[in-house]
Amino acid sequence: MTDPAGGAPGATADVEHTTTAGTAARATAGTAARATAGFRSRYGAEPAGCWAAPGRVNLIGEHTDYNDGYVLPFALPLHTVVAAAPRDDTGWTVWSELTGDPVEFGPAAADEPGLVTGWAAYVAGVVWALRDAGYAVPGARLAIASDVPLGSGLSSSAALEAAVLAALVDLGGLDLPSGEQPRLARRAENGYVGAPTGIMDQSAVIRCRAGHALFLDCRDDSVEHIPFNLDEARLTMLVIDSRAPHRHADGEYAARRRSCERAASTLGVPALRDVAVADLDDALRRLPDDETRRRMRHVVTENQRVLDTVVLLRARRVREIGSLLTDSHASMRDDFEITVPEIDTAVEAALAAGAVGARMTGGGFGGCVLALVDADRAETVAAAVRAAYAERGFTAPGTVTAIPTAGTTRLR
């Protein structure tokens, strides 16, 4: 893998540098070739096909999902590819280039959440969710290759679920409407793996379109594809992997959810999505303590920032979203208190080096930073972030240049 924007050499999450649709397609072809070669060497046969699902990043709208609000993710040109072929019996063998030995399980293990553990639980979870919904899932052999870094907040888990789901649906000729696929993939993660995620990740990796961001209303799962053309605006989106160790992320996440629920119930609304920015001052007065007020203010203003971003993108005023991204970051840092020093350093360094806007993306306490930069300043900004990291003694960040890519597809 190349990393011209200069992530840490040899570090695990170095990601592909892709600036055009052509190079992105070549990168995916390389991933598919690895999955296919893995299939041949593990199983001594040809796969029946290859299915690719992308990673994703959220452009704006953080911690709005569980408040029935809005999010705006787009798919990245980094893919998880599954090469697969049916088995004669009802059983599943899965191998990933990242994990070594294959894992095998039958229907009894697939039907009992918790029996398949570790990374293969994401695969068993898809089989479980399909079978639980009444589908006759074909037995299959699967080989998986991926360029989506694991655990960096780019949703390698949803990419894995989506690629496996697409493979099983096609191999079995299952009549699963595409609109149902995100919910089913999410069930695999919630119900089998046991991770309480919202619907954003699976919706994004399955439903995104090239050149567009996905405007998702988390209240009713409705979506709209919003044009997001960076080239036209002569802009580049850097995704900077902060490499910050996740610190107490689960407990802090649960605490933020509780604050939001408390605020909504005090205000007598079903969810904070129902508080409009125009009513913010009144709502702030009605909450009992400063912390709950600040948590609520983040969610209410963040929802509005998503709506404002959508308006600007629809009008093709891409550059103007920069200040919304930066405002979103300040809100996460000061009101929601979910950033960490590495993340704030990356945002500050990017802005000081001329980024049009920058923010942490994802749930917080680590993960990635987005920096919207003039195309001819991408390297300067990336170098400035690296220098700021070096000065503070942080593990060097990884960088990928993102272009909005299509969701899950069959490659061959």
Per CB under 6 A, 117 contacts ligand ADP:
no
Burial class (CB in 10 A: 0-12, 13-18, 19+), 222: exposed
For 151, the 3-state DSSP assignment is coil
CB nearer to ligand ADP: give 4 or 196: 196
Residues of 118-132 as b/e, b for ≥16 C-beta within 10 angstroms? ebbbbbbbbbbbbeb
For 281, the 3-state DSSP assignment is helix
CA–CA dist 204, 216 (Å, integer): 9
The helices-and-strands tally (H runs, E runs) of the chain is: 12, 13
Tell me the window of 93-101, 216-224, 300-308, 316-324 that interacts with ligand ADP (CB under 6 A).
93-101
**Residue from 1, 2, 4, 151 binding ligand ADP (CB under 6 A):** 151
Touching ligand ADP, residues 275-304 (CB under 6 A): none
Per CB under 6 A, 401 contacts ligand ADP:
no
Q: Which does 259 bind (CB under 5 to 8 A by kind): ligand ADP, Mg ion, none?
A: none
CA–CA dist 59, 333 (Å, integer): 17
CB nearer to ligand ADP: give 98 or 276: 98
Residue 343 per-residue DSSP state: H
Query: Count of residues binding Mg ion (CB under 5 A)?
Result: 2
Asked if residues 158 and 53 have their Cβ atoms less than 8 Å apart, the reply is: yes
**Residue from 157, 303, 304, 361 binding ligand ADP (CB under 6 A):** 157
Per CB under 6 A, 155 contacts ligand ADP:
yes
Touching Mg ion, residues 338-397 (CB under 5 A): none
Tell me the window of 12-20, 94-102, 245-253, 374-382 that interacts with ligand ADP (CB under 6 A).
94-102
Looking from the CA of 392 toward its CB, the CA atoms found within 13 Å total 18
Q: How far is the CB of 55 from ligand ADP (least distance, A)?
A: 8
CA–CA dist 136, 110 (Å, integer): 13
Which positions from 258 to 277 touch ligand ADP by CB under 6 A, shown as an x/- string?
--------------------
Looking from the CA of 118 toward its CB, the CA atoms found within 13 Å total 12
201 is annotated as an active-site residue: yes
Which positions from 51 to 90 touch ligand ADP by CB under 6 A, shown as an x/- string?
-----------------------------x----------
CA–CA dist 402, 74 (Å, integer): 9
Which positions from 137 to 156 touch Mg ion by CB under 5 A, shown as an x/- string?
------------------x-
CB nearer to Mg ion: give 80 or 401: 80
3-state helix, strand, coil in the chain (%, to 5): 45, 20, 35
Q: How far is the CB of 186 from Mg ion (least distance, A)?
A: 11
Nearby residues of 97 by Cβ (< 8 Å), 6 or more positions away: 34, 35, 38, 143, 144, 145, 146
The residues facing 104 across adjacent strands are: 93
Q: Return the closest-CA partner of residue 57 out of 201, 209, 218.
A: 201
Per CB under 6 A, 156 contacts ligand ADP:
yes
**Residue from 157, 203, 259, 326 binding Mg ion (CB under 5 A):** 157
Q: Which of 14, 65, 68, 201 is catalytic?
A: 201
Active site residues: 201
In the complex, which residues of this chain contact ligand ADP (CB under 6 A)? Answer: 80, 96, 98-99, 119, 122, 144, 146, 150-157, 160
In the complex, which residues of this chain contact Mg ion (CB under 5 A)? Answer: 155, 157
